Chains A and B, each alone.
Chain A
Amino acid sequence: MTLAKWFVYTVLLALTPILMRLLVVGLSTSIAPIRWLNETDVITFGLILAITNISGLEGDTKSDRDWKSKQVGVSLLNVAAFATLFAVSLFAEIAPANVSRGRLLAVSVFLAAGCAIHSYSIWERLAAIRTRSRVA
Chain B
Amino acid sequence: MSLAIVLAVTGVIGALTIGVGVVTIVETRKRYYHEYLERKGRK
Seen from chain A, the residues whose Cβ lies within 8 Å of a Cβ on chain B are: 67, 70-71, 74, 77-78, 81, 103, 107, 110-111, 114-115, 117-122, 124-125, 128-129, 131-132, 135-136
Contacts and interface: CB of A to CB of B under 8 A. Distances in A.
Interface string B15-30: 1111011101101100
Interface of B: 3, 6, 10, 13-18, 20-22, 24-25, 27-28, 32-33, 35-36, 39-40
Given A78-B13, A114-B14, A118-B18, A71 B24 contact: yes
A115 B17 contact: yes
Contacts of A131: 32, 36
A71 B15 CA distance: 14
A71 B20 contact: yes
Given A110-B10, A135-B36, A118 B21 contact: yes
A128 B37 CA distance: 11
Contacts of B39: 135-136
Contact of A111 (B3, B10, B21, B28): B10
A125 B16 contact: no
